[in-house]
Amino acid sequence: MSLFVQKFGGTSVASVERIENIAARIIRSRNAGHDVVVVVSAMGDETDRLVSLANEVNYDGLDARRELDVLLSTGEQATIALLAMTLLKHGVKAESVLGWQASILTDSEHSKARILEIDETVLQAKISDGIVPVVAGFQGIDQKGHVTTLGRGGSDTTAVALAAVLKADECQIYTDVEGVFTTDPRVVEGARCLKQMTFEEMLELASLGSRVLHTRAVEFASKYQVPLRVLSSFEEKPGTLITKEDDSMEQPIISGIAFTRDEAKLTILGVKDVPGIASAILGPISDANIEVDMIVQNVAADMSTDFTFTVRRDDYDQAKQILENIAKNIDAREVSGDNKIAKLSLVGVGMRSHAGVASRMFKVLADESINIQMISTSEIKISVVLAEKYLELAARALHSAFELSEEVN
Amino acid sequence: MSLFVQKFGGTSVASVERIENIAARIIRSRNAGHDVVVVVSAMGDETDRLVSLANEVNYDGLDARRELDVLLSTGEQATIALLAMTLLKHGVKAESVLGWQASILTDSEHSKARILEIDETVLQAKISDGIVPVVAGFQGIDQKGHVTTLGRGGSDTTAVALAAVLKADECQIYTDVEGVFTTDPRVVEGARCLKQMTFEEMLELASLGSRVLHTRAVEFASKYQVPLRVLSSFEEKPGTLITKEDDSMEQPIISGIAFTRDEAKLTILGVKDVPGIASAILGPISDANIEVDMIVQNVAADMSTDFTFTVRRDDYDQAKQILENIAKNIDAREVSGDNKIAKLSLVGVGMRSHAGVASRMFKVLADESINIQMISTSEIKISVVLAEKYLELAARALHSAFELSEEVN
């Protein structure tokens, strides 16, 4: 007999009919002899509906964020009530549990609060009584007794946090996809659902654009060693199990290929190479709340340097304008940019013990005559920037060269 | 400087635009130097929307009522957040307060809970800090920490209960009508908004079909001597003040005329007049959850009796069938009925000190050739049952005869 925390996202609970489906799934787990704690999101587009009501009020003062949390948290509250009712109808002892009822204590950063502490005794008592607690995801309570929300992907975080304090055997995240794929199946035909991967790999994939799981939830799971499983609400398949790295398991060199088109590149040319120049350039960009991703700096022979970085495509125009002002101030030669680029990354813990992955990757791209514009690496990841038009070709070539279609774990 | 509890119903908060309007009204009270505690209902048809979601689940077990309360209470939660945001936008310190946050402790009768206790210190602290608490009506929390709701008209009850514990100077109930009228203005042209009336009169009027205020809220106000004012959300008018009876105020004999068409009459004829016969007749009716209103029994010369009572028109067919079965069992002669009747009542505390109101009423009706079918009286009320078709004529004739169009208080 195991204890599972099962989390169902917005599309899985978008209607009373779908809530019936997930009730059936919960009941199957119970009938197999397991204890279950359920975490759910708001129904379908309910959060969007609530946000648009708040937008109608048209006030985004800091003090309004506390009230926005009170408003948004109604979404999950409605779902837990409907799901608990549905379980009761089928003779399952179930009880809805709000964030404050589960004592999910957070800091007071409304709309992006972080969980500080959970008193697990509340839920443990219900589990002991044979009750399925149906917990509202995304919400908590701060020390002053105000309702808080955890921000985007917050329900995943709730599920993982509960699994951690309850020492659950698995935290199961039900989504509208089968699991985590080696790459985007819409782009590469041979993309395969991974049976298993590590937290680190998932973190790299999540932050690189695979939107299956929220980064914070994976970090949390990694920190507290909570086995995570991503699986489909709609199909009966095992999905992808995400755990800590295990020496006994055979590591594939590469687990997956992530990519994002949402990128733009900016270069400032002929900058004097003196200390403090990087912060003189990036300071005003960051002051404008523009996130910088990759950064590359080359020193030329005349002691001047070219400085290149990437930003989100949405921020390109604003960043370019700021950069042109900076160029005048620091007497740089020229500013150039390109917003038709994409970033592609190979991810795999096997890289640690296998040399030559990078050169193999570059050779595959060279064989396809694809020019690499920027390179960035970490222990388990190699990212390259390339022209957007080559993205699909590059993904397919690499997927095939690294034999990702073949079952290895 | 006074303390007002201001309650706004569903139609007053049906849209963000209307919420802006009531925010303006609250701000005017604040600018006039008053402290304000606000109580609101769910927006427009939101409660109906939530109920229909629950109906889709299609399970009405007792255990589901706890979850229904969790679901329904989201309606008021959304309103308080939006109104607090709107007040903040206009520079007013405001804070939403949920039932559990205000420590509104109720019993555990889900969907019709009664308030047991309120810890007023929570709201008092906010008022002292210059904050306008915006409290969710209709909801509370039981001793086990479950969310409860107070049933129909619950937000009025919340407002009155808060006014009582906070010792507010007035509990102001904002509605879509100007106040309490001498009678239904759609029927009698000269109907006039009353400036003042007593709790007892309001209770008689409320239970007789004037749907301005919920009976429970008036009882609560009467018990704790909370001055109640009914007024319009949409117009700037003083409305109707409802207080305890005051010797110094000049009492009109009659305050108002209430009526309801929602009535039916049943008679069982030729019943043996023996002890226990009334309960033999009414027992099965009440077992079927049919509410009996007026009851009249006449003794005939042959020691048999005719027994007549009224029920809601919706219950007429079921009640008639039950009565026909009873008639066989107790060997009664015949059952007859009429579902085209109406009830009309004169209400006024002045009746206590003025004799002859009843005979004057009967004369007015006789002059119009209107037959009175049943009569029932209390200390401050005379009710008659008549054929529905005469209802408007009777109301107009009595309104005129008792000079209710003229300003007296």
Distance in Å, alpha carbon of B252 to nearest chain A alpha carbon: 47
A-chain CB neighbours of B68 within 8 Å are 81, 85
Shared domain check, A273 and A368: yes
Cβ–Cβ contact A53 with B under 8 A: yes
First to last CA, chain A: 26
User: Does B50 contact A78 at a Cβ distance shorter than 8 Å?
Assistant: yes
Residue B70 near chain A (CB below 8 Å): yes
Cβ pair B16:A56 closer than 8 A: yes
How far apart are the CA of B82 and the nearest CA of chain A, in angstroms?
7
CB-CB under 8 Å, A50 with B70: no
What pLDDT was estimated at residue A152? 79
Instruction: Inform me whether the pLDDT recorded for B245 exceeds 90.
Output: no
* Nearest neighbour of B81 by CB, restricted to A68, A85, A86: A68
Long-range contacts at A162-165 (CB < 8 A, ≥ 24 apart)? A162/A5, A162/A37, A162/A39, A162/A102, A162/A118, A162/A120, A162/A123, A162/A135, A163/A5, A163/A37, A163/A221, A163/A226, A164/A220, A164/A221, A164/A224, A164/A226, A165/A118, A165/A120
User: Which residues of B, range 11-30, sit inside 8 Å of A by Cβ?
Assistant: 16, 19
Rounded alpha-carbon distances, angstroms, from residue A11 to A7, A43, A51, A75, B312: 12, 7, 17, 13, 45
Whether residues A262 and A164 fall in one domain: no
| Exposure of A303 in the CB half-sphere (CA atoms within 13 A) | 3
For chain B positions 138-177, those within 8 Å of chain A (CB to CB) are 145, 147
Q: How many domains does chain B have?
A: 2
User: Which residues in chain A touch residue B63, judged by CB atoms under 8 angstroms apart?
Assistant: 88
**A293, A209 contact by CB (below 8 A):** no
pLDDT band for position B216 (50/70/90)? Answer: confident
Among A253, A231, A248, A252, residue whose Cα is nearest residue A240: A231
Which chain A residues are within 8 Å of B101, Cβ to Cβ?
Answer: 145
Count contacts between A and B (CB, < 8 Å).
104
Please give the Cα distance from A119 to A124 (Å, whole number).
9
Q: At what angle do helices B277-287 and B316-329 cross, to 10 degrees?
A: 140
Residues B168 and B265 in one domain: no
- Chain B partners of A71 at a C-beta cutoff of 8 Å? 77-78, 81-82, 85
Asked, for residue B289, whether it belongs to a domain, the answer is: yes
Confirm whether B222 is domain-assigned: no
Instruction: Tell me the nearest-neighbour CA distance from A36 into chain B, angstroms.
Output: 19
Last residue of a domain, one of A108, A142, A176: A176
pLDDT at B30 over 80: yes
Residue A82 at interface with chain B, using a CB cutoff of 8 Å: yes
In which band, very low, low, confident or very high, does the pLDDT at B248 lie, cut at 50, 70 and 90? low
Residues of B in contact with A82 (CB under 8 A): 53-54, 57, 67, 71
Q: Which residue in the set B81, B82, B88 is minimally distant from A61, CB to CB?
A: B88
Domain for residue A390, yes or no? yes
Check if the beta carbon of residue B66 is closer than 8 Å to that of residue B146: yes
**CB contact at 8 A, B155 and B41:** yes
Stretch B181-190: mean pLDDT: 90
- If asked whether residues B160 and B293 sit together in one domain, one would say no
Domain assignment of residue A199, yes or no: no
User: B366, exposed or middle or buried, with CB in 10 Å at 0-12, 13-18, 19+?
Assistant: exposed
Residue A51, chain B, CB below 8 Å: the answer is: no
pTM across the whole model: 0.85
Residue type, B107: D
- Is residue B96 in some structural domain? yes
Residue B149 lies in a domain: yes
Q: Do B74 and A78 touch (CB under 8 A)?
A: yes
Residue at which a domain ends, from A161, A176, A191: A176
For every residue of A297-353, DSSP letters joined together read EEE-TTSEEEEEEEEEGGGHHHHHHHHHHHHHHTT-SEEEEEEEEEEEEEE-GGGGT
Question: Taking Cα atoms as reference points, which of A26, A23, A24, A42 lies closest to residue A34?
Answer: A26
Contact criterion met (CB < 8 Å) for B85 and A67: yes
Q: How far is A107 from chain B (nearest CA, A)?
A: 18
CATH of the domain at A52: 3.40.1160.10
Q: How far is A81 from chain B (nearest CA, A)?
A: 5
Tokens at A230, concatenated: 């991503």
Q: Is the pLDDT of residue B235 over 80?
A: yes
pLDDT at site B250: 62
- A327 vs B: CB within 8 A: no
Give the side-chain half-sphere CA count within 13 A for B112.
Answer: 3
- Asked whether the beta carbons of residue A84 and residue B67 sit closer than 8 angstroms, the reply is yes
| Spatial CB neighbours of A257, under 8 Å, sequence gap ≥ 6 | A182, A183, A188, A344, A345, A346, A347, A395, A398, A399, A402, A404
For chain A, 409 residues long, the average pLDDT of each consecutive 10-residue run is: 95 96 96 97 95 94 94 98 98 98 96 95 97 98 97 92 97 92 90 92 77 84 94 91 77 86 91 82 90 82 83 94 92 92 92 84 94 89 94 95 79
Q: What radius of gyration, in Å, describes the C-alpha atoms of chain A?
A: 24
Overall size of chain A counted in residues: 409
Interface contact flag, B77 A80, Cβ < 8 Å: no
Please report whether residue A191 resides in a domain. no
Contact B86 A57 (CB under 8 A): yes
Quote the pLDDT of residue B215. 84
Grade residue B278 by pLDDT with cuts at 50, 70 and 90: confident
A317 HSE (CA, 13 A, CB side): 1
Would the CB atoms of B98 and A147 count as touching at under 8 Å?
yes
B64 in contact with A at a CB cutoff of 8 Å?
Answer: yes
Q: What is the pLDDT of residue B209?
A: 61
Q: Are residues B149 and B294 in the same domain?
A: no
Closest CA in chain B for residue A53: B16
Q: Which helix (H) or strand (E) holds A127?
A: helix A121-128
Residues of B in contact with A63 (CB under 8 A): 88
Give the range of the structural domain holding residue B287, as residue numbers without chain letter: 257-401
Where does the pLDDT of residue B398 fall: very low under 50, low under 70, confident under 90, or very high at 90 and above? very high
Please work out, in degrees rounded to the nearest 5, the angle formed at the alpha carbon of residue B10 by the alpha carbons of B196 and B129.
80
Contact assessment for residue B266 and residue B320, using Cβ atoms and an 8 Å cutoff:
yes
Does residue B92 sit within a domain? Answer: yes
Same domain? B21 vs B170: yes
B81: which chain A residues are within 8 Å (Cβ-Cβ)?
54, 67-68, 70-71
**Three-class DSSP labels, chain B:** CCEEEEEECHHHHCCHHHHHHHHHHHHHHHHCCCEEEEEECCCCCHHHHHHHHHHHHCCCCHHHHHHHHHHHHHHHHHHHHHHHHHHHHCCCCEEEECCCCCCEEECCCCCCCCEEEECCHHHHHHHHCCCEEEEECCEEECCCCCEEECCCCHHHHHHHHHHHHCCCCEEEEEECCCCCECCCCCCCCCCCECCEEEHHHHHHHHHCCCCCCCHHHHHHHHHCCCCEEEEECCCCCCCEEEECCCCCCCCCCCCEEEEEEEEEEEEEEEEECCCCHHHHHHHHHHHCCCCEEEEEEEECCCCEEEEEEEEEHHHHHHHHHHHHHHHHHCCCCEEEEEEEEEEEEEECHHHHCCCCHHHHHHHHHHHCCCCCCEEEEECCEEEEEEEHHHHHHHHHHHHHHCCCCCCCC
Q: What is the mean pLDDT of residues B282-296?
A: 89
Structure tokens that stand for B95 in this block = 């804070």
Q: What is the pLDDT of residue B331?
A: 87
Clarify whether residues B397 and B269 are in a common domain.
Answer: yes
Residue B243's nearest CA partner among B208, B207, B204, B195 is B195
CA B297-B301-B303 angle, 5° bins: 70
Is residue A10 a contact partner of residue A44, using CB atoms and an 8 Å limit? Answer: yes
In chain B, which residues have their Cβ closer than 8 Å to the Cβ of A145? 101
Range name among A188-197, B206-215, B255-264 with the lowest pLDDT average: B206-215
We report the CATH number of the domain holding residue A345 as: 3.30.2130.10
Q: What is the least distance, in Å, from the CA of A105 to any CA of chain B? A: 15
Integer Cα distance of A78 and A100 in angstroms? 15
Phi and psi of A396, rounded to 5°? -65, -45
A50 touches chain B (CB under 8 A): yes
Distance from CA of A24 to the nearest CA of B (A): 13
Chain A residues with CB-CB distance to B58 below 8 A: 89
Q: Indicate the helix (H) or strand (E) that contains A39.
A: strand A35-40
Model pLDDT for residues B71-88, shown as the tens digit of each residue: 999 999 999 999 999 999
Report chain B's C-alpha Rg in angstroms.
24
Taken in order B191, B197, B203, B204, the sign of the CA dihedral is negative
The pLDDT, as a whole number, for residue A209 is 61
Chain B 279-308, residues with CB within 8 Å of chain A CB atoms: none
Nearest Cβ partner of B96 from A59, A67, A98?
A67
Contact A85 B59 (CB under 8 A): yes
Asked if the C-beta of B38 comes within 8 angstroms of chain A's C-beta atoms, the answer is no
Which among B54, B73, B101 is the nearest to A85, CB-wise? B54
Lowest mean pLDDT: which of A131-135, B208-212, B296-300, B337-341? B208-212
Q: What is the mean pLDDT of chain B?
A: 91
Which pLDDT value is given to residue A212? Answer: 76
pLDDT of residue B301: 65
Contact flag B74-A71 (C-beta cutoff 8 Å):
no
Check whether residue B157 and residue B277 sit in a common domain: no
Whether B33 has its CB under 8 Å from any CB of chain A: the answer is no
Q: Are residues A274 and A160 located together in one domain of the fold?
A: no
Q: What is the pLDDT of residue B252?
A: 74
Flag whether pLDDT at B12 surpasses 60: yes
B57: nearest CB among A86, A100, A101: A86
CA distance A292 to A312: 8
The Cα–Cα gap between A214 and A212 comes to: 7
In the listed set B128, B152, B176, which residue is the last one of a domain according to the structure?
B176
Chain B contact probe: residue of A67, A69, A129 with most B CBs at under 10 A? A67
Residue of A nearest to B18 (CA): A57
Q: Report yes or no: A347 and A380 within 8 Å, Cβ to Cβ.
A: yes
Residues of B in Cβ contact (< 8 Å) with A49: none
**Separation between Cα atoms, residue B246 and residue B234, nearest integer Å:** 30
Q: Looking at the structure, tell me whether residues B20 and B166 fall in a common domain.
A: yes
Residues contacting A341, CB < 8 A, separation 6+: A263, A264, A265, A310, A373, A385, A386, A387, A388
* pLDDT for position B131: 97
Check whether residue A35 and residue A161 sit in a common domain: yes
Q: Which residue of A has its CA nearest to B86?
A: A57
Res B408 pLDDT > 70: no
Give the N- to C-terminal CA distance of chain B in Å, as an integer. Answer: 26
Q: What gap in Å lies between CA A332 and CA A255, rounded to an integer? A: 42
B19 with B149, same domain: the answer is yes
| Closest alpha carbon to A79 in A56, A109, A104, A99 | A99
Task: Check residue A246 and give its pLDDT.
Answer: 74
Does the beta-carbon distance from B64 to A147 stay under 8 Å? no
Highest mean pLDDT among B84-93, B189-198, B364-373: B84-93
Query: Nearest CA to CA, how far is B24 from chain A (Å)?
Result: 13
- Residue B345 in tokens: 């009542």
Under an 8 A CB cutoff, do B81 and A89 touch?
no
A53: nearest CB among B16, B63, B70: B16
Q: Strand A196-198 vs strand A240-243: parallel, antiparallel, or unpaired?
A: parallel
Query: Nearest-CA neighbor of B268 among B340, B336, B339?
Result: B336
ipTM of the assembly?
Answer: 0.84
Q: Decide: B260 and B342 in contact? Cβ < 8 Å.
A: yes
Q: Are B215 and B194 in contact (CB under 8 A)?
A: no
- Would the CB atoms of A77 and B73 count as touching at under 8 Å? yes
